[in-house]
Amino acid sequence: MKCLPSMDVYLVLGVWASVAGAEVVDYRGACKLVKCLEVEVLGWKEKSEREKLEWLEGFLGWLWGQGKELGVAWKYVTSYVYDRCVSEDVQNAVEAYKKYVKERFGKNVEVDLSDKKVLKAARVLSKIASEFGVSVYDVVRMQHECWEKIDRPLSFERMADENVVRRRLQVKMDIDKRAGFVSKQRKEKESSEVKQLEKKVRECWNMIVSVGVMFFAGKKGWLGGIAKEVHDKLLSAKTHAERVRILRENSADRIVERWYQEGCPRDLL
């Protein structure tokens, strides 16, 4: 007891009495909870009395709603902290779903946040949105638009399977890409990747020319094929001036330009 802040213990007992509607003098349970809070809740010791009070009201109210006793409160701190961390993402995902269903189907839907599948679905939607660089709203939208026969809202819980959500999203993005529509975030991401590849094409071709195209003519990949073409032309050239012209016509700038024209192939060498 000497190392425990007694004010925190009494604060726990006071909040619990308020939540439970009856005074419970469980010093042992309160002490164990305070000791746990000091470890599990970031910056607990530095919190003001008001901040501690607000946190305890939320946690102990949640604990009471779960039908648990104060004596075992310390066992559930980690679960509560985790739930608080993800609650904003969960709420955002649910609101995005409600907004989409209202806009497309004209329906107001309710989502049961006490359902574990709902919480899992919300986390999956947030994770996939971050992974693909799109908004959660777009992930929900694409789940419904990946197949033209989807004519009613998917239940929120049906988006709890990460593999299924990712597959639906990929199908819709592939359809959009073929139709010439790519999300702004996706465009930016792809543009960055293309620029990096362009730099690599330029650097690799300069290296090939400096070492000698003959050494790369048998290599696999797009640049290997270009090296073979240039090497064959150089072999058939009859004069030095003609060889110079062939190399000039296949400068790094010209190779990069051709790379773009041929769809930016990824397999270079």
Q: What is the pLDDT of residues 101-112, one digit of tens each?
A: 999 999 999 888
pLDDT of 5 above 60: no
Contacts of 219 (CB under 8 A, 6+ apart): 227, 269
pTM of the model: 0.41
First to last CA, the chain: 69
Question: How far is Cα 137 from Cα 118, in angstroms, rounded to an integer?
Answer: 16
Question: How far is Cα 121 from Cα 24, in angstroms, rounded to an integer?
Answer: 38
Domain assignments of the chain as residue spans, ordered by start: 6-68, 85-182, 186-261
pLDDT of 1 above 50: no
Q: Which range is least confidently modeled, 39-43, 84-88, 228-232? A: 84-88
Amino acid 85: pLDDT: 58
For the stretch 55-105, pLDDT in tens is 999 899 888 888 889 999 999 888 787 666 556 778 889 999 999 999 999
Burial class (CB in 10 A: 0-12, 13-18, 19+), 63: buried
Question: How far is Cα 2 from Cα 226, in angstroms, rounded to an integer?
Answer: 78
pLDDT of 2 above 70: no
Burial class (CB in 10 A: 0-12, 13-18, 19+), 162: middle
Question: How far is Cα 188 from Cα 59, in angstroms, rounded to an integer?
Answer: 42
